[in-house]
Each structure stands twice: as structure tokens, then as C-alpha cells.
Amino acid sequence: MDSHLDTRPARDAPGLSRKVRAYVALTKPRVIELLLVTTAPVMVLAQNGIPNLWLVLATLVGGSLSAGSAGAFNCYIDRDIDRVMERTKDRPLVTGELSDRQALIFAWIVGVASIVWLAATTNLLAALLSAAAIFFYVVVYTLWLKRRTAQNIIWGGIAGCFPVLIGWAAVTGSLTWAPVILFAVVFLWSPPHYWPLSMKYRGDYAAVGVPMLAVVRGRTLVGLQVVLYAWATVACSLLLIPVASMGILYSVVAVAAGGWFIIEAHHLYGTAIRRAEVKPMRVFHSSISYLTLLFIAVGIDPLLPF
């Protein structure tokens, strides 16, 4: 009897650990990481210095909850196609680690918590923007656009732009042209970031009838669109220089990192034209590095004396 009591926690612990990991996976933590990269630097720019660290922490927590809720709702809604696609075969609702009901309840709790948390610790505008981000990703993108149009990523990407506005609003309680420009940067960046991924997993999307651009059009057109959006992204990033009085660091990073991003996009297009083997994930990873470098520069530039 004593032996049984001694060994029970050891058996329960792995089960609890798996359950926690499953809930974390439901939130799509890699997406959250990228969204947070765009939030904190914008808060520094809004403050024109180091903002209150508690405010930064509170905003990042609220933003993580918001993005996690949207990700969980997405996993719940797309559970039917996730069971077919190779890329999503390890998601918790596919493996059975979580039930559909558990996922839906979790998504609602985390979403409401994000709004209440931001309203209590930052301000009402930031909380409302968080609610708008969840609504846009879940209703506009996942429920409406994703399975109906090849333009899904273009407009659905708006949801990923909200952390920029939330970060600025948390510091200032208002919005100006600077966060709007950065919002536009993320908006224009989303298609050339995601389309290469959809090229790699074209078969997955075709199998489940999701009309990603790579599915309904050829890779040459996709490559061209990636080039055009990459150029537009970099051009938009340069608008921040006069509008927010950005200094040398941001200017150099925007041009250098932007040039690298554009070169990678052109390489993808050139390979597609030559009908050679394309490596779309090069652009995918380059896009992440580009956005990270750009927003790090956004956060450091206001702290420099020149």
C-alpha cells in the first residue's frame, strides 16, 4: 500500500507535463515569439526611451494571452484539415492529447483573460485592440477568408499587425502615424513571409482544399508576388525615418536588412523562372530575420544619442 502511494505522483507527473505542453502547443508559441518581437521595441519608440518595465511586462503578458487565444481558436476551427495535413499532424487536437471541448474552453478563457488583463494593467484602447486582433484572426481569417480565397494571407495577415498598435497604445493611450506605418510594414511583410511556406507545403493545402496562392497559381507568379511585396515592405519601412525622426542605426538596418530580404525574394523568383529546384524556406527564414532585425533597430535607435 505504501509503495503504491509513493509511486503514484511519479506516474501522474509525466501525464500532467504532457497536458501542459499540449495546452502550450495550442497557443502556437513560435507565432507568439514573433509577435512579441514587434511589441516591445514599439513601446520604446513610443516612450522615446525605456518605458516603465512593469508596463512592458504587463503588455507582453496580455499580448501573449491574446495571440495564444487566437491560436487556440484556430486549432479548434481547423482541426478537420489539421488531421489531414502533414505539417500539422502533431497538433494537440490531432494527436488526441486534448479534446475539442478542452481546446474551445481554453481559447475562450485565455481570450477573455487577455482583454481583462490589458484593460486592468494598461488601458482600454490596448484592451480593445487585443479584442479586435482575436476577432480578426478567428472570424475574418480562419472562418471567412482562409478556405474561400487566395487572398486569405493578404487580409488575414492584418491580425498579426495589431501587436504594434497594442504596444504603442499601452504607452501613450493613443495612436499616431508612426505605429500606423509599422502596422503597414507588418501587413506588407506577411505575404512574402507566408507564401514561401505555402509553396513548400503546397500538397498539404491542395489536399484539404485551402486555396493558398501557391495552390491556385504557379510558383512563378507566387515568386513575383513575393518580390513585389518584399519591395513594398522595405519601402514602407523607410517612411518611418522622417515620420518618427529615426536615426542612423534604424536607417542603416532598414536599408541593409531590407536589401538582403529583397535579394532573397529575387533569388526565389529567379529560380522559379528557370524552373530549377526552388528553396522557398530560405525566404521564409530570411523574412523572420529581417523583421526581427528591423524591430530591434526600432527599439534601440531611440536610446542612442545620435
How confident is the model over 216-226, as pLDDT tens digits? 988 899 999 99
CB 65 within 8 A of CB 131: no
The answer to whether the CB of 265 falls within 8 A of the CB of 230 is: yes
Mean of the pLDDT values across residues 224-237? 97
Quote the CA–CA distance of 107 and 116 in Å, as a whole number: 14
The CA distance from 298 to 104, in Å, is 36
Please, what sign has the CA dihedral across residues 62, 66, 71, 77?
A: positive
Q: How far apart are CA 148 and CA 159, in angstroms?
A: 18
81 within 8 A of 210, measured Cβ to Cβ? yes
- Phi then psi dihedrals of residue 301, to 5 deg: -55, -45
Is residue 13 scored above 70 in pLDDT?
no
Closest CA to 103 of 71, 85, 82, 76: 76
Confirm if 181 and 234 have CB atoms less than 8 A apart.
no
Q: Which of 169, 182, 161, 159 is nearest to 250 (CA)?
A: 182
Mean predicted confidence (pLDDT) in 262-271: 94
Cβ(27)–Cβ(68) below 8 Å = yes
Distance (Å, whole) CA 246 – CA 251? 7
Q: Quick one: pLDDT band at residue 36, thresholds 50, 70, 90?
A: confident
Determine the distance from the C-alpha atom of residue 251 to the mean position of all C-alpha atoms in its chain, rounded to a whole number. Answer: 24
Distance separating alpha carbons of residues 51 and 95, to the nearest angstrom: 42
**Does residue 124 surpass a pLDDT of 60?**
yes
Range 113-142 average pLDDT: 96
Angle, CA 255 vertex, CA 254 and CA 259 arms, to 5°:
115
For the segment 234-259, the average pLDDT, to the nearest whole number, is 97
Asked whether 179 and 165 are in contact (CB, 8 A), the reply is yes
Amino acid at position 16, single letter = L
pLDDT interval class at 8 (50, 70, 90): very low
In order of their start, the domains of the chain are 25-173 (1.10.357.140), 176-306 (1.20.120)
Higher-pLDDT residue of 276, 198: 198
Q: What is the pLDDT of residue 268?
A: 93
Mean pLDDT of 156-181: 95
If 0-12 CB within 10 Å is exposed, 13-18 middle and 19+ buried, where does residue 249 land? middle
More confident residue, 113 or 276: 113
- The pLDDT of residue 14 is 55
What DSSP character marks residue 105? H
Long-range own/partner contacts, residues 171-176 (CB < 8 A, 24 or more apart): 171/43, 171/46, 171/47, 171/51, 171/55, 172/46, 173/123, 173/125, 174/125, 175/125
Mean pLDDT along residues 155-184: 95
**More confident: 1 or 79:** 79
**Residue labelled with grid coordinates 481583462:** 116
DSSP 8-state code for residue 218: -
Per-residue pLDDT tens over the stretch 56-74: 999 999 999 999 999 999 9
- Tell me: pLDDT of 75 over 90: yes
